[in-house]
Amino acid sequence: MGRKLRSNFKKGSLPWASRRAHWRALGLTDEDMEKPKIAIVNSSSDLALCFTHLDEVAQKMKEAILASGGLAFEIRTAAPSDFITAVGKTGGYIQSTRDLIVNDIEVAVEGAQLDGMVCLASCDKTAPGQLMAAARLNIPTIVVACGYQPSGFYKGEHIDIEDIFIYAGHYAAGKLSLEELTEMTETAIQGPGVCPGMGTANSMHGVSEALGMALPGSTPVLANASKMWQVVRLAGERIVEMVWNDEKPRDIMTPEAFENAVKMVLATSASTNTIKHLQAVAREAECDVDVFGLFKKYADQIPLLTAVRPNGEVLIEEYEAAGGTRAIMKQLESLLNKDAITVSSKTAGENLEDVVVADEEIIRPLNHPLSTRPSILVVNGSLAPNDGIIKLAVKDDRPFKFSGPAVIYESREKAIESLSEGEVKEGQVLVLRGFGLKGNPGLGFLSSVIFALDGAGLTGKVAVVTDGHVSGLVNKTLLVCEINPEAAEGGPLALVEEGDSITIDVEERTVDLDVPEDELSRRREKIKEFAANHTGERGWLSIYRQVVRPMCDGAILGE
C-alpha cells in the first residue's frame, strides 16, 4: 500500500481542483479521492438478453470494490449482439464494434487516468474488446464473465438460441413451418446471459481464464447464479490488491499465456473467432506472437477433450458442473506453460494444484480423448495465401477432399434465394465474396446462408469458401471462411469466375483455385473493384473500412 497512484494529482493543480469540484459534488470525500480508482466496464443494453443483467452486476461490483478500499466508476461501451445487431449492413456492425469497445474504454479510462479496470464480459465482442483494451492501456485488469442464459424445451426436447439459428435456416429453405419456428422462439431463452453453448461468448470467457485474465474457476457460469455473484465479489476485492501491487496485463499476457489459451481452444473445439481475437489481443499487448501459427503448430498435438453443444451433445451446464475451463486446463496440465502468471497472483500451475475433474466423461483425460483429429484448422493455398479457417464437425472423421465448380454470390440474400429455389446443386463450391473486413465492410455475417444450405438438404454435398464471417461454431458443411487476402484487397477470391474448379484438401490443409497462372494474370488486369461499392459512404463502417488491418493482424485498427 502507499504506492503513488496515477489518478492522484498534486494538490492545488488544475487537474486536482477540477476533479475535486466534480467529485465533491458527487458526494465523495477527500479520503475517497485518495483511493484506487477502478473502472467498471459495463456494456449494458436493453436490446438483447446478453446484457440486461449487467447493471445489477455493476452495482454489486461497485459495492465489492468500495468494501475493499477502492473507488469505483462505472463506464459504458457499445453492446453488439449477433442476434440483434447483425441485421444492418450484412452484419458489418458486429466485428467492427469490437474495436469501438476498445476505443470506448481507452477514452474513458485513459482520459481520466484511472488506476484499474474490472470488465464485465458478456456477448461475443465484449470480452475480446476488453482484453484488447487491457493490453493497450496496461493497467491492472480483471475480466469477469457474466454468464450464459438458461435454455428451454420444445416438445420435450432441449432448445436454445443456437437451435433457433439453425431452424431459421430450415424455415428459409421451406423445411419448417412459421408456426413451428414461432413456437420455438417462445421457449428457447429463459433468462439473461450469453448463448448457452461453446459459441464465441463462452469461448472467449474461457480464453480470458486460460490467458490468465479471469479468476481461476470462473468460466463458464450460469448468469445470476450464486457462483457468478461470488466471482463478482472476489474480483472486486482482487482488483484493488492488483492496483496497489501494480500487477499489469502485459506481465500476464505473455507468449506462454497465449499458447495456453490456444491449447484450451483446441481441446474444446471452441469458436474459430478466438483466432482473430487472440491475435488482436497479442498485437495490442505488443507481444510477438503469431496466433495463426500457434493454431497450425498445435492442431495435431492437442486432442479434443470435450464437445459442448452445438459441437457435440454436452450441455454447457454439464461442462460447468464437470469443472469448466479449469478442469480442461487440469487435463492439459502436462502440456501447459505452468509458470504463466495470472490475475490471481498465482501461476497457472498453482491454480491447478487442487483441481479435481468432476466428470471425466464430460471432460476427458489426455489418454482417453474424444478425438485426436483437430476440428479447427488454419489452411493456406492459392485461394488463401494468407490463411483461411476450417471448422470440422467433432465426430466427422472422413478423409475430406472436395473439388467442384464455383458458383458465385456477392449478396447474402441472393444466395439464400437460390438455395430456397433449388438452384444450388450437389457438387458445387459456393463462393461468397466481397464480405471481408473492407469489402462488406466489417465482415459480412453469412451464417444464415450456411443454415439455409442445411435446410435445403445440401450439408456435406457442397462446399463453401468466403472472405466473410460465419458463426464460430459452423461445421455442418465443408467451409473455408475469413479467407485472407479478401476479394476487396485484390485477393485470389476476386479472380474466381463461374465454373472454375476449386479444391479443398483437409488432410493437406489447402484450398486452391485450379486455374493456370497465365489465365489468372490476365484476370488480374481487369479485377473487379469491390470497394468501389462504398464510394461516398459515410459513418462508422466507412471509417472502419479505411483503417482496418488484415485478418493476420487480428483485424485491429491502424494506418
Task: Give ∠ CA 59-65-70 in degrees, rounded to 5.
Answer: 130
pLDDT tens string 474-497: 567 899 999 999 999 999 999 999
Q: Which residue type does 307 have?
A: A
Residues with Cβ within 8 Å of residue 470, at least 6 apart in sequence:
445, 446, 447, 450, 479, 481
Plot region of 280 (φ>0 → left; ψ -120 to 50 → alpha; else → beta)? alpha
Dist. CA 519–CA 496, nearest whole Å: 11
Give the pLDDT score at 533: 60
pLDDT tens string 116-137: 999 999 999 999 999 999 999 9
Give the pLDDT score at 175: 81
State the average pLDDT for the chain.
94
Helices 126-137/200-210 angle, 10° precision:
30
Find the helix or strand (DSSP H, E) in which 26 lies: none
- pTM for the model stands at 0.95
Does residue 203 have an active-site annotation?
A: no
Dist. CA 405–CA 91, nearest whole Å: 28
Cell of residue 451, nine digits: 443454415
b/e burial code for range 496-521 (CB count within 10 A of at least 16 → b): beeebebbbbbeebbbbbebeeeeee
Say if residues 319 and 357 touch (Cβ distance below 8 Å).
Answer: no
The 3-state DSSP class for residue 501 equals strand
The 3-state DSSP class for residue 401 equals strand
Q: How many Cα atoms occupy the beta-carbon half-sphere of 401 within 13 Å? A: 4
Residue among 520, 488, 445 at smallest CA distance from 95: 445
Give the pLDDT score at 230: 98
Dist. CA 400–CA 511, nearest whole Å: 12
Domains of the chain, first to last: 31-150+191-351 (3.40.50.2300), 376-553 (3.50.30.80)
Dist. CA 144–CA 323, nearest whole Å: 17
Q: How many residues does the chain have?
A: 559
Dist. CA 148–CA 191, nearest whole Å: 9
Gyration radius of the chain's alpha carbons: 24
Give the pLDDT score at 396: 66
* Spans in the chain with pLDDT lower than 70: 1-2, 396-399, 472-475, 530-536, 559
Residue among 543, 545, 500, 536 at smallest CA distance from 519: 500
DSSP class per residue in 170-238: HHHTTSS-HHHHHHHHHHSB-SSSB-SSSSHHHHHHHHHHHTTSS-TT--S-BTTSHHHHHHHHHHHHH
Cell of residue 476, nine digits: 455442418
Kindly name the residue from 43, 471, 521, 542 that is annotated as catalytic.
471
Dist. CA 515–CA 407, nearest whole Å: 15
Cell of residue 111, nine digits: 482520459
Cell of residue 132, nine digits: 484488447
Cell of residue 110, nine digits: 485513459
Say if residues 101 and 557 touch (Cβ distance below 8 Å).
Answer: no
Start-to-end Cα distance in the chain: 41
Give the pLDDT score at 400: 81
Give the pLDDT score at 514: 97
